[in-house]
Amino acid sequence: MVALAQHSFARPTAAVPPAQEVGWVLAMILMVLAMPPAIYGALTYYRFGIFAPSYYVPHEAFWAAVTAGDFTASFAAPLLSVNMTSGDILANMYSVTLGQYALSIALGAAMGLAMAKQVRLLKVCSAGAIGGTSATTGAGLFSTVAASSTGILGCCGAGLAGGVLTLLGVSSNVAGQLAGASLLFQLALIAVFALLNLRFAARLKGLGAA
């Protein structure tokens, strides 16, 4: 009876993700979330010679967007707004939106799982290289930075897009179009990393290292 009870509550070891995978996932999520504001802040300082960040949480704008019953409005609902040049005549704004936040976490998790599995695969099998996955990871990070809600405004407001690319010298129209395309690119990369994760998991299982 005791043995039966122990068997009922025992958790299979295979169901627990390796600590290394958890570490990779957390590291990639942190990198994806931290890179856009870090790069935008550095570019702002380089172009304008000032870095004085201040932030506010737009509660009313967030709930108005979420309760509007429109997917586009909910996707663009602002969670946090940061002015990189407080006190300056122009506001160099970085805004964290609900949709971008969700996409960044999903992309970071997918990248972390794929990278962790390929590293494990390289330890048990000398064939293959990590270069392809690293290049795709780099593309994912670039698309996240490009798609971030950033812009230079005369006063604080919404409708931010392509601010990072604008500071790099890209025209505002092209930067806005690239920012919009980067969102779709992020979705495609999440699917790519999900497929890579399944592929690496299947190879590890075949080698008996899953």
- Supply the range of the domain harboring residue 24: 18-50+96-206
Does any domain span residue 82? no
Half-sphere exposure for 203 (CA within 13 Å, toward CB)? 19
Does any domain span residue 62? no
Does any domain span residue 78? no
**pLDDT tens profile 153-199:** 544 344 455 556 666 666 666 666 666 677 777 888 888 888 888 88
Share of the chain above pLDDT 90, in %: 4
**Res 1: pLDDT:** 46
Does any domain span residue 5? no
CB-based contact 110:194 (threshold 8 Å): yes
CB atoms within 10 A of CB 17: 11
Does any domain span residue 120? yes
CB-based contact 155:187 (threshold 8 Å): no
How many domains does the chain divide into? 1
Does any domain span residue 61? no
Does any domain span residue 88? no
**pLDDT tens profile 63-107:** 998 888 888 888 888 888 888 888 777 777 788 888 888 888 998
101-111: string of b/e by CB count within 10 Å (b at 16+)? eebbebbbbbb
pTM of the model: 0.74
